[in-house]
Amino acid sequence: MTKLPTWFRQELPNETTQELTQLLTKSCVHTVCQQARCPNINHCFKNKRFTFMILGDTCTRNCRFCAVTKSANKNLALDEDEPYRISQLVKRLDLDYVVITSVTRDDLVDGGAAIFAKTIELIHKINEDIKVEVLIPDFRGKIQSIESVLNAGPFVVAHNIETVKRLYPDLRPQADYELSWGILGKIKELKPRILTKSSLMLGLGETEKEVIAAMRDLRSNRCDILTLGQYLVPSPEHYPIKEFISIEQFKEYKDIGMALGFKFVLSGPLVRSSTPNPTA
């Protein structure tokens, strides 16, 4: 299935997009927008919206849907200056809402939590009113790592379950479904008032019943915000698209999610997990 529906037509890059891309390269700062080949990249870059990707550009896991570079190397470098460079870009671009995610670094004892915390803290030193949303890995469920990030004062903490339980062995062989949605419950136990967020990609072969079951699992862990978007295959080597979800189905999922008690549900073909929180 290769032909994209008309609603996936992308905006062409303009001068602002090109200048920002050059600035990111010059600053040695990565974005998941570029690394994961996001279809919204030109639209978002035009509006100075992007998601910083910390802990380098190489992931230690091998999720079959993801375009980010992967490696089983246990001796990957850790860039201690990365948080500072990001904070300086935030200052230069005068951002008031910042989204930060990362590759998964199972090679690090804390999973990279200290770098997350340092990045948040340096941004808040520029202006404590800047809202920082973080999209964290599972940290292998380590409470100390989760606490380290929470204590730095993020506005939203997201952790994506990505897909339904049945597809985990094929799509996310190094991840665990129960651990992933359980992370959100642990965050709420530690910081009950913080906003939590998760995401599902659709079109991977899941059924409506399975999607609703995943939504219920998230709500059972008091997840506040849910994003639902269409999976797009990054290359012929990645997991194939099984189905393009209709606009009507996305709307139906949004209604179901709101009825289940999510504070916000963003649901549509081009919605991505780093779509900014609507309360910002």
> Quick check: 277 pLDDT over 80?
no
SS3 assignment, position 224: coil
Q: Structure pTM?
A: 0.90
Q: Which residue has the tokens 């190489």?
A: 58
Q: What is the pLDDT of residue 272?
A: 79
Neighbours of 116 (CB within 10 A): 31
What is the pairing mode between strands 51-54 and 225-230? Answer: unpaired
Q: What confidence tier does 263 reach under pLDDT thresholds 50, 70, 90?
A: very high
- The first and second tokens of residue 248, run together, are 């009507």
CB 239 within 8 A of CB 200: no
Q: What is the pLDDT of residue 37?
A: 60
Number of H helices, E strands in the chain: 10, 10
- The first and second tokens of residue 272, run together, are 């991505």
List b or e across 136-145, with b for residues whose CB sees 16 or more CB atoms inside 10 angstroms. Answer: bbbbeeeeeb
Q: Percent of the chain scored above 70 by pLDDT?
A: 86
Q: What confidence tier does 71 reach under pLDDT thresholds 50, 70, 90?
A: confident
- The first and second tokens of residue 221, run together, are 């862990």
Phi (first) and psi of residue 19, to 5 degrees: -65, -40
The predicted-structure confidence for 142-156, as pLDDT tens digits, reads as follows 999 999 999 999 999
Residue 7's region, left for phi above 0, alpha for psi from -120 to 50, else beta, is alpha
Q: What is the pLDDT of residue 235?
A: 82
Q: What confidence tier does 4 reach under pLDDT thresholds 50, 70, 90?
A: low
